[in-house]
């Protein structure tokens, strides 16, 4: 089934540990995004990538890194997790960044940092 796949769907992590959230899309979309969603704060953009080989910082990039080695994959890494990074993380993609309004989201990864 075409779309975006995120893994893991849920994870409990000790503070200080390194964690990579995986995101893969098979729609050949150029642009990909990582958001976090917290109660009362809505969706906030962490990092994005307009095309393979390029990345950009969003609204809340600190403590996170991304890479875009190819079109399909856009992993998000927490180098040293902290409790404030407890959140639901959504990966998304779009044909291209610009006037397109349709983002396709993955089902989310629920991360708890203790």
Partner 1 sequence: RKEVEQDPGPFNVPEGATVAFNCTYSNSASQSFFWYRQDCRKEPKLLMSVYSSGNEDGRFTAQLNRASQYISLLIRDSKLSDSATYLCVVNRGNTPLVFGKGTRLSVIA
Tokens of 106: 């993955």
Residue 42 binding partner 1, by CB under 8 A: yes
Of 10, 98, 112, 114, the one binding partner 1 by CB under 8 A: 98
Residue 27 binding partner 1, by CB under 8 A: no
Of 40, 68, 72, 93, the one binding partner 1 by CB under 8 A: 40
Residue 55 has what DSSP assignment? -
Angle at Cα 14 formed by Cα 39 and Cα 37, nearest 5°? Answer: 20
Residue 102 binding partner 1, by CB under 8 A: yes
The residue (of 80 and 100) whose beta carbon lies closer to partner 1 is 100
CB atoms within 10 A of CB 103: 19
Q: Are 111 and 21 within 8 A, CB to CB?
A: yes
Task: Pick the piece of the chain touching partner 1 (CB under 8 A) from 7-15, 37-45, 66-74, 76-84.
Answer: 37-45
The residue (of 10 and 84) whose beta carbon lies closer to partner 1 is 10
Residue 14 binding partner 1, by CB under 8 A: no
Q: Are 106 and 6 within 8 A, CB to CB?
A: yes
The full DSSP string for 36-51 is EEETTTEEEEEEEESS
Chain residues in the site for partner 1 (CB under 8 A): 33, 35, 40-43, 45, 48, 58, 90, 97-103, 105-108
């Amino acid at each position: 089934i075409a779309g975006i796949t995120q893994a893991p769907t849920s994870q409990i992590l000790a503070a200080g540990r390194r964690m990579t959230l995986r995101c893969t899309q098979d729609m050949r979309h150029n642009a990909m995004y990582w958001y976090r969603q917290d109660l009362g704060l809505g969706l906030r953009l962490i990092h994005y990538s307009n095309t393979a080989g390029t990345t950009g910082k969003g609204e809340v990039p600190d403590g996170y890194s991304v890479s875009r080695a190819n079109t399909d994959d856009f992993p998000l890494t927490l180098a040293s997790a902290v409790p404030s990074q407890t959140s639901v993380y959504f990966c998304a993609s779009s044909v291209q960044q610009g006037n397109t309004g349709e983002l396709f989201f993955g089902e989310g990864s629920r991360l708890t940092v203790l």
